[in-house]
Amino acid sequence: MSVAKTESVAEIKARNKELINEVLKVYPEKTGKRRAKHLNVHDASKSDCGVKSNIKSIPGVMTIRGCAYAGSKGVVWGPIKDMIHISHGPVGCGQYSWAARRNYYIGTTGIDTFVTMQFTSDFQEKDIVFGGDKKLAKIMDEIQELFPLNNGITVQSECPIGLIGDDIEAVSKMKSKEYNGKTIVPVRCEGFRGVSQSLGHHIANDAIRDFVFDKLDPNRPALFEPTAYDVAIIGDYNIGGDAWSSRILLEEMGLRVVAQWSGDGSLAELENTPKAKLNVLHCYRSMNYISRHMEEKFGIPWCEYNFFGPSKIAESLRKIAAYFDDNIKEGAERVIAKYQPLMDAVIAKFRPRLEGKTVMLFVGGLRPRHVIGAYEDLGMEVVGTGYEFGHNDDYQRTAQHYVKDGTLIYDDVTGYEFEKFVEKIQPDLVGSGIKEKYVFQKMGVPFRQMHSWDYSGPYHGYDGFAIFARDMDMAINAPVWKMAKAPWKDDQQPKLMAAE
């Protein structure tokens, strides 16, 4: 199926460049010029991917991106399980993001845990006209009364809040005082801020700094007796249990995980983290800010890692172990050895079914690069990738550690571009989100959602890799893809209606 297999790198590069030029023709001139900067063919001699990123999406093109609220409520804060996160503004934002991200947790929902609930101020016209601060204060009182075991509240601002001049900081401060210093966090993540989810991550990180860390008594005793092996997992949202299948490896190598940010996380864990000896950072994009802050403020080093696929997992375990003594280094080797038979069995089973298959990705956060190693462990090749809301440092990491010469790179891809690229390149698998899934499946191209793991997972860690491998096999080798064409119809290339 794949075109790439039969072509040399030079041919691939020429074909991809041609493809970019062809796609750009559809745009009005000004838009074409702007989009041209986001599309490129990777050149292995370069230290980044040669695309512009983290700039405004162009109106009307069908960007896949979301907003700052999605980055704060949906990503960073939402999974903190013992706090109540108010979607502050009209009802929709909280409704569409309600329990959609599969941040697994343990707790009694509605009593001491609140992740899969939708708390909203459900703004009405009068709240827009007269302001919503009084309503917000009352909401906090009602939360205290009806959900007495909550350990804190965050205010996740939706668009109108910043536009009507509400002072959510003052309300939060007043109510925090009234409730004996209760943690109440105003978050200025209005959806119109910034260009994507990304600014929402940053704003949410800063809110943790300002309203969790800075409120801590520096002399307070730790909740636990610190050890030399205390680490915190940063930037794992426990989608389908990812953080759990990661944590178990760190603990098996002799480390002690004192906090999870933020999947299955709690306020106490956020507060624990300044006592950690090392922060291990999975999703660099969404939590590098707080990691840098903790390094500066508390002297905690941080270390990026990648728990997708056995090659990267082993590399990461050794990298993390290098921060500790021989005890932990031996532990890392022990863990790698322990899981080697499982990995060998998984690869022996699935690699023959997946060898040489090509993949195109378009995802957010860390995944456009982080999952490449896992595909390669299965003998698959990523021939195109791009970030929904990456920055230049993401593309640098991608270029330097992950992608091959000639890979097609597309930043903030538009619906039109993505369809065209896939139609032309005909990969064996596309990995992207729910909005893209059915587009490509209609075209007869196998697809996996790489945000929600298509309701599967975990994909992190050794246990997760077995599921990942099984899922990719299931997607690509499902009999259904052989049935897309009615047998009595002529064989013809799939076509894109919109382009014609």
Grouping H, G, I as helix, E, B as strand and the rest as coil, residue 248 is: helix
CB closer to another protein, 195 vs 303: 195
Closest contact distance (angstroms) between CB of 256 and another protein is: 8
CB closer to another protein, 252 vs 405: 252
With vertex at residue 286, the alpha carbon angle to CA 285 and CA 287, rounded to the nearest 5 degrees, is: 100
Closest contact distance (angstroms) between CB of 173 and another protein is: 18
The pair of three-digit structure tokens given for residue 252, joined into one six-digit string: 């098996």
Active-site residue (options: 70, 204, 374, 466)? 70
Closest contact distance (angstroms) between CB of 70 and another protein is: 5
DSSP label at 6?
Answer: G
CB closer to another protein, 381 vs 388: 388
Rounded CA-CA distance 315/332 in Å is 10
Q: Does the annotation count 451 as an active-site position?
A: no
Residue matched to tokens 């610190």: 226
Closest contact distance (angstroms) between CB of 9 and another protein is: 29
**Which amino acid makes up residue 163?**
L
Closest contact distance (angstroms) between CB of 140 and another protein is: 9
Kindly calculate the radius of gyration of the chain based on its CA atoms and give it in whole angstroms. 23
Active-site residue (options: 49, 67, 159, 399)? 67
The pair of three-digit structure tokens given for residue 78, joined into one six-digit string: 């939402």
Active-site residue (options: 85, 201, 247, 282)? 201
Contact yes or no for 204/262 (Cβ under 8 A): no
- Closest C-alpha among 322, 318, 271, 317 to residue 301: 322
- Write phi, then psi, for 99 (nearest 5 degrees): 60, 20
Rounded CA-CA distance 58/294 in Å is 35
CB closer to another protein, 378 vs 399: 378
Closest contact distance (angstroms) between CB of 404 and another protein is: 28
Contacts 24+ apart (CB under 8 A), 9-18: 9/405, 9/406, 12/383, 12/406, 13/41, 13/43, 13/405, 13/406, 16/41, 16/406, 16/408, 17/41
Q: Does the annotation count 101 as an active-site position?
A: yes
User: What residues contact residue 349 under an 8 Å CB cut-off, 6+ apart?
Assistant: 469
Rounded CA-CA distance 442/445 in Å is 7
Active-site residue (options: 101, 193, 247, 369)? 101
CB closer to another protein, 215 vs 435: 435
Q: Does the annotation count 201 as an active-site position?
A: yes
The pair of three-digit structure tokens given for residue 357, joined into one six-digit string: 């298959």
- Exposed (0-12), middle (13-18) or buried (19+): which is 206, by Cβ within 10 Å? middle
CB closer to another protein, 109 vs 327: 109
CB closer to another protein, 57 vs 407: 57
- Write phi, then psi, for 472 (nearest 5 degrees): -70, -40
Q: Does the annotation count 93 as an active-site position?
A: no
Closest contact distance (angstroms) between CB of 67 and another protein is: 2
Residue matched to tokens 């039969």: 6
Closest contact distance (angstroms) between CB of 189 and another protein is: 10
The pair of three-digit structure tokens given for residue 211, joined into one six-digit string: 């309203």
CB closer to another protein, 194 vs 365: 194
Contact yes or no for 168/88 (Cβ under 8 A): yes
Which residues in 286-313 are b (16+ Cβ under 10 Å) and which e?
bbbbbbebbeeeeebebbbbbbbbbebb
Q: Which residues are catalytic?
A: 67, 70, 101, 201
